Amino acid sequence: MRAGGISVHAVDVAEGRPAAGLRVVIEALDPGGRRLVAAGRIGPDGHLDHPVVRGEGVAAGTYEVTFDIGDYVAARGGSGRFLDRVPFRFTIEAVQEHVHLPLKFTRFGYALFRGA
């Protein structure tokens, strides 16, 4: 059975646009430690373009996605650092189901959830 995959969509709501350039890391939390599943940057359309979206490297288990919001804001000339690396831990039980993670953020806060 093919895995459903993990997709990420990130929007900088303060700027009102996709968070192009935001670094994202997805790791599986295995009993022996962390395993890198995906790493990359959000593209101009607001999505992470990586084979993990199509299910590559995805199995049942616990995952953590980390968003480097602090570096993203600093690279755009934002003054005053508040958020830094924002982790989000979740579990995949039904590996055939796709997990979509929409992130909406400013330099002071964020909303992240499992989307459709």
Is residue 100 in a domain? yes
Pairing status of strand 33-41 against strand 23-30: antiparallel
Asked if residue 48 belongs to a domain, the reply is yes
Per residue in 54-83, pLDDT (tens digit) is: 999 999 999 999 999 999 999 988 777 899
Q: What is the mean pLDDT of residues 32-43?
A: 96
pLDDT of residue 2: 59
Q: Judge whether 81 lies within some domain.
A: yes
Say if 52 falls within a structural domain: yes
Q: Is residue 115 in some structural domain?
A: no
Whether 61 maps to a domain, the answer reads: yes
Domain assignment present for 116: no
Average pLDDT over residues 93-114: 95
The CATH number of whichever domain residue 34 belongs to comes to 2.60.40.180
The count of other CB atoms within 10 Å of the CB of residue 14 is 13
* CA distances to 15, 64, 112 from 89, in Å: 26, 4, 11
* Count of domains observed in the chain: 1
Which structural domain, as residue segments, surrounds residue 21? 6-109
> Would the pLDDT of 1 be above 60?
no
Q: What is the model's pLDDT at position 57?
A: 92
Cα–Cα distance, 104 to 10 (Å, whole number)? 6
Task: Tell me whether residue 114 is in a domain.
Answer: no
Give percent helix, percent strand, percent coil of the chain, each to the nearest 5.
Answer: 10, 50, 40
Give the C-alpha separation, 8 to 46, whole Å.
8
pTM: 0.93
How far out from the chain centre does Cα 21 lie? 12
